[in-house]
Structure 1
Amino acid sequence: MLNAQNKILIITDAWHPQVNGVVILLSALVESLGRLGIDSQVIHPGLFPTLPLPKYPEIRLSLTPWRFRSHMAQDPSQQVHIATEGPLGLAARSYCSRREVPFTTAIHTKFPEYTNILFGTPISWGYGYLRWFHKPAQTTIVQSKHQADELTERGLAHLRVVGGGVDTQRFRPQDRESRDKPLLLYVGRVSREKNIEAFLNLAIDAKKAVVGDGPDRHRLQEAYPEVEFKGYRKGESLVHEYAQADCLVFTSKTDTFGLVLIEAMACGTPVASFPTTGPLDVIRPGVSGVMDSDLEEAVSQALLLDREVVRTESLNFSWESVARRFADIHRIEVSQGFD
């Protein structure tokens, strides 16, 4: 039966002012649901006292997550989606499970691999936690088919793919500056789990730029003085960085989708990556980018691609489609067109 109220409550430990793919995805999802006539309420760390996550001070976690219940009680009839597995997600899971409130969850990152790289935690422990956390959910939303296949092999069930999108009016080609060497670009968190040194160590005659920040920036900036570290970029400044680059180099082996891939493509910039979860579902080989276990080879071939064709390929990823798939999972009736 369809939910006539067209309301959904989203609980997330990742929200503004954090700058990462999860926040970008959830923000675009909330906006797109609104354009379909679906009202979203977001419970996030900014509503509570917080403390910084160790090694990631820009990420702040709720100190009093149990207080989210006052927000929950405002409209008990709305659909519930728990987007993250942190303190707020745990509190929401406990609340819903005790009161037999149906809910969905999502897996946005390779949490077990992240914690293994950063803290040495066995990967098996991480997947054990994910199986426990997501087991009571009606549906667990994932970002790509390859991610769903990997999680199924790890014992998770009731998985549905929603994916990611891009605003192709905002992210668009621009007039490009002339230069004597190709410009290679990395966009993302500057931290160990992103495997960024695979980009920094590329033996290619090109200029390199890093857009983003994180715990490893200071160390890497000193170790690679020839690379331009630009910090965070937002809005038109970020679009400019994408559009001026000759190739986006995506080094992560722990992402589940990679929104930066389609943002770059929308600006006409081809992408190069390893053949891993995320790129395997986003890149059309030889059309929008190149995947190869030899990253230098991937970059060399990506630089030859037609930027107009790359831009055209990005038009296959729309936030409207993402929002409609999300609404369908929650049996929410879409009351209007995407205006």
Structure 2
Amino acid sequence: MSSILIVTDAWHPQINGVVRSLERTAQELVRMGVRVEFLTPGAFYTLPCPTYPEIRLSLAHRGMVRRAIDRFACEHLHIATEGPLGLLAASVAKSRGEAFTTSYHTRFPEYLSARLPVPLDWSYAWLRRFHNSGQGCMVATGTLESDLAARGFTHLMRWSRGVDEEVFRPHEGSVLPKDLKGPIFMNVGRVAVEKNIEAFLDLDLPGTKVVVGGGPQLESLKRAYPDVHFTGPKVGEDLARHYASADVFVFPSLTDTFGNVLLEALACGVPVAAFPVMGPLDVIGDTGAGVLSDDLREACLAALDIPREHCRAIALNYTWAASARQFLDNANRAHDIKAGIRRAPDAQGVTAPTGADL
């Protein structure tokens, strides 16, 4: 595979795990000699997503997307999101009988139900039809793979994540205001209702709670929690220094499929406190780099005793180079599936089905 087109509705100026994962995977693929192109909302007129204006919805039609796909002339099509562009790209590929892969980044049914009274079964039925229509659906963890398989999703492929260990590393000192009392319990990520941030902010903890990030819930949480230090969004080296200024990284989300921020915090030497759910179970598990408990306060306090050097060592098991190799192998396997070629089991023991199996 020498060229890949990635279609994504999630793109700059959004700052989230989907965008970072796609960018870093693309960078590694280019190093491997693969030409990578992106089709994003930046190519079209857009309008803000209701209740979430940071997300831009593309005003495009099938012909526009078809012409864009033809212009890039890539060997493989990967659809990263289930938004307007993703749906149109899948429609084009299916009409032509061309192979394509998708990826499941977000537990959209749970996100939607946090905002609107939409039954989970309805959302999952729609997502199942979308992801099962391609030749592979990439998932980040074994827990997510098992969950989706139980819901009827098929030809699932593993695509893990990595961390930039050169950017995200331990730093001496703190970039936080000197008057903040320790210990510092920190959350980093999108400040939105589906992230369950209040579960962290409502905890009775010593020291100071810090929230790094922006999003639709930021201003309301600032008003509701005046004792919490909100920094707004941070990126790059500045973000790494904020991570390293914490004593414990608190991850209260119940809906993330992986949680890139978990790896970033660990790479900076910061132990994790989280609920025992998808994402933390896969990244932290029994590594000893964090504490998972239904009692999040208990997890926060216990995590204070974890050695920072151990956290860093666990994070270094994840590399973007390995992630990109996995992605590329999945793309190649999708074309084998479309051609009806059966391959040997992959690293997870999963054998690609033949065309007759689909």
TM-score category by the smaller chain?
over 0.9
Structure 1 residue 118 displacement after superposition: 1.0
Deviations 1:268-302 (A, max 9, x none): 00111000001111014362111000001111111
Provide the alpha-carbon RMSD of the alignment. Answer: 1.3
Matches within 5 A, 1:261-280: 261-280=262-281
Query: 1: CA distance between counterparts of 2:52 and 2:231?
Result: 18
Query: 2: CA distance between counterparts of 1:226 and 1:279?
Result: 27
Matches within 5 A, 1:41-52: 41-52=37-48
Q: Which position in structure 2 is the counterpart of 1:154?
A: 151
Q: Which position in structure 2 is the counterpart of 1:99?
A: 96
Query: 2: CA distance between counterparts of 1:292 and 1:286?
Result: 14
Query: 2: CA distance between counterparts of 1:158 and 1:202?
Result: 41
Matches within 5 A, 1:1-339: 3=1, 6-66=2-62, 67-76=64-73, 78-177=75-174, 180-285=181-286, 287-331=288-332
Q: Secondary structure at the match of 2:302?
A: helix
Structure 1 residue 22 displacement after superposition: 0.6
Q: Which moved more, 1:201-210 or 1:282-291?
A: 282-291
Distance verdict in 2 for CA 1:166–1:290, change over 3 Å? same
Query: 1: CA distance between counterparts of 2:90 and 2:182?
Result: 52
Structure 1 residue 214 displacement after superposition: 1.3
Structure 1 residue 176 displacement after superposition: 2.4
Query: 1: CA distance between counterparts of 2:213 and 2:227?
Result: 17
Deviations 1:142-198 (A, max 9, x none): 111000000011110100111111000110000024875200101111111110001
Query: 1: CA distance between counterparts of 2:332 and 2:99?
Result: 12
Q: Is the 8 A contact 2:262 2:272 kept in 1?
A: yes
Query: 2: CA distance between counterparts of 1:313 and 1:209?
Result: 24
Q: Which amino acid aligns with 2:289?
A: S
TM-score (norm 2): 0.89
Q: What is the aligned residue count?
A: 328
Distance verdict in 2 for CA 1:32–1:279, change over 3 Å? same
Q: Is the 8 A contact 1:48 1:65 kept in 2?
A: no
Query: 1: CA distance between counterparts of 2:251 and 2:181?
Result: 23
Query: 2: CA distance between counterparts of 1:58 and 1:282?
Result: 28
Q: Is the 8 A contact 1:285 1:291 kept in 2?
A: no
Q: Secondary structure at the match of 1:60?
A: strand
Runs (5+) with no aligned partner, structure 1: 333-339
Distance verdict in 2 for CA 1:224–1:180, change over 3 Å? closer
Q: Secondary structure at the match of 2:71?
A: coil
Deviations 1:61-97 (A, max 9, x none): 1011431222211254511101110000000011001
Q: Percent identity at matched positions?
A: 47
Query: 2: CA distance between counterparts of 1:74 and 1:286?
Result: 46
Structure 1 runs (4+) deviating above 6 angstroms are none
Greater relative contact order structure (CA < 8 Å, 6+ sep): 1
Q: Which amino acid aligns with 2:314?
A: E
Q: Secondary structure at the match of 1:257?
A: coil
Q: Is the 8 A contact 2:271 2:306 kept in 1?
A: yes
TM-score (norm 1): 0.94
Q: Is the 8 A contact 1:10 1:82 kept in 2?
A: yes
Q: Is the 8 A contact 2:5 2:74 kept in 1?
A: no
Q: Which amino acid aligns with 1:118?
A: R
Query: 1: CA distance between counterparts of 2:99 and 2:285?
Result: 37
Q: Which amino acid aligns with 2:125?
A: G
Q: Which amino acid aligns with 1:246?
A: D
Q: Which moved more, 1:106-115 or 1:285-294?
A: 285-294
Q: Is the 8 A contact 1:286 1:302 kept in 2?
A: no
Q: Secondary structure at the match of 1:18?
A: coil
Q: Is the 8 A contact 1:181 1:207 kept in 2?
A: yes
